[in-house]
Amino acid sequence: MKLAKNNIYVNLVLGDITEFKGDAIVNPANKYLIMGGGVAAAIKRKGGEEIEREAKRHAPIEIGEAVVTSAGRLKCKAIIHAPTVETPGGRSSFKYVYRATLAALRVTRENGFKTIAFPLMGAGVGGLSPEEAIEAMTTAFLEAGENLEIYVYLVSKEVFERIITWLRRSGWREVT
């Protein structure tokens, strides 16, 4: 489902982010770039251990920074590692997710990428509700997402419906 607000377009996808075939997948990392749980573990499991090895060469990085690695065996070109938590298993916040999303968008542009896939940053292990996560992410999208093809992958029908409801209430409209 494609939604738009202020010339920013977001595609919501119910599915597995590791199947994304565009330019880059965003990994909501920790500062040490250890890929031990959640989306990071799924990326490492399917894409290969080399993604984590390559990422850890850049560690530690601060929240608000992002680094790019190869995508291993995944179908996309690259992984963008953008910390949403300080330590593995740590708590996230609106500010952390917003800063991580902005960093991922900046690195997307710096690398000439046009299509980028995000999971629900800061939700899951990070502890934010889906609504808190999408609010922080869309705040960044509206600031820095112009002329990018943005995808947000969601893993459950219930969360998908909650996100659609939140976006509609926030002025996003469906487009075809």
Whole-number pLDDT of residue 55? 98
pLDDT digit string, tens, across residues 111-148? 999 999 999 999 988 999 999 999 999 999 999 999 99
The strand pairing partners of 128, in sequence order, are: 123
Whole-number pLDDT of residue 152? 98
What is the C-alpha end-to-end distance of the chain, expressed in Å?
A: 8
Whole-number pLDDT of residue 86? 95
Mean pLDDT for all residues in the chain:
97
Domains contained in the chain, CATH given: 2-171 (3.40.220.10)
Q: How far apart are CA 54 and CA 34, in angstroms?
A: 11
> Does an H or E element contain 105, and which?
helix 94-110
* CB 47 within 8 Å of CB 78: no
Strand 2-5 and strand 8-14: the pairing is antiparallel
Q: How far apart are CA 163 and CA 175, in angstroms?
A: 16
Tell me the DSSP string of 69-80. EE-TTSSSSEEE
